[in-house]
Chains A and B, each alone.
Chain A
Amino acid sequence: GNSVTQMEGPVTLSEEAFLTINCTYTATGYPSLFWYVQYPGEGLQLLLKATKADDKGSNKGFEATYRKETTSFHLEKGSVQVSDSAVYFCALNPDTGRRALTFGSGTRLQVQP
């Protein structure tokens, strides 16, 4: 079946540090890959996505590249801010008709001033 594995958190960084959150996946076919962000007390918001191999998704300074050879979709940001503190979820959408997402367990990021 489909699955997504994320690095465990929490990840604690100082402001302006470099961020990497690892995500690997298992899926049949050619899934689409997503990063969602959940700020405290809120629902999930789409951060970025990539729909095919070698695509790079980017938004708000965050980037992730769809690597089919390593089945990975790692999230990166060059300089984090306190406002980036949130829980980040990696997810995949299999290439089936159901269009339901499979989520990773989430990684909490804490950015200290």
Chain B
Amino acid sequence: NAGVTQTPKFRVLKTGQSMTLLCAQDMNHEYMYWYRQDPGMGLRLIHYSVGEGTTAKGEVPDGYNVSRLKKQNFLLGLESAAPSQTSVYFCASSYSSQKYFGPGTRLLVL
């Protein structure tokens, strides 16, 4: 059981570039989430999904898009990166109130 995995681990982007972060889980969880972590602000929910083919906005969705084409994968896209999106991104999955987190992706936008 790999649990929740994220790729890449680290990425540097220039303003305006696009990229996709991949989250994969092998626990057959229905719920998946994308959070961003910024200093002094804890984790904030970007988007989430309650099942394959469904997505919904969280607390800070602007500038991001997501897709859940397969149950085990949850993709987070940045169409035109901005310096304000410099952050650490965490994916999580769950079948109940307990969440399982990935190791994070550190993104730097110059």
User: Which of A's residues lie within 8 Å of B, judged by CB?
Assistant: 4, 32, 34, 36, 42-46, 49, 51, 89, 93, 97-101, 103-106
Inside 8 A of B98's CB, which chain A residues have their CB?
46, 49
Contact between A98 and B48, CB atoms less than 8 A apart: yes
CB-nearest residue of chain B to A43: B101
- Count the B residues whose beta carbon is within 8 Å of the partner chain — how many? 25
**How many inter-chain contacts with C-beta < 8 Å in the A-B complex?**
51
User: Which single residue of chain B is at the shortest CB-CB distance from A1?
Assistant: B59
A sample of 11 cross-chain residue pairs with beta-carbon separation below 8 angstroms, ordered by A number, consists of A43-B103, A43-B104, A44-B92, A45-B101, A89-B42, A97-B50, A98-B48, A100-B58, A103-B44, A104-B42, A106-B42
A45–B99 CA distance with the chains assembled, in angstroms: 9
Are B97's CB and A32's CB within 8 A?
yes
Shortest 3 CB-CB contacts between residues of A and residues of B: A103-B42, A43-B101, A44-B101
CA distance A105 to B64 in the complex (A): 22
Taking a contact as CB atoms under 8 Å apart, the answer to whether A99 and B40 are in contact is no
Contact of A100 among B33, B41, B90, B103 (CB under 8 A): B33
Which residues does chain A contribute within 8 Å of B102, judged by CB atoms? 43
- Known A-B contacts A43-B104, A49-B97, A89-B42; the reply to A99 vs B90 at CB < 8 A is no
Q: Which residues of A contact B45 (CB under 8 A)?
A: 100-101
Shortest Cβ distance from residue B5 to the other chain A in the assembled complex, whole angstroms:
10
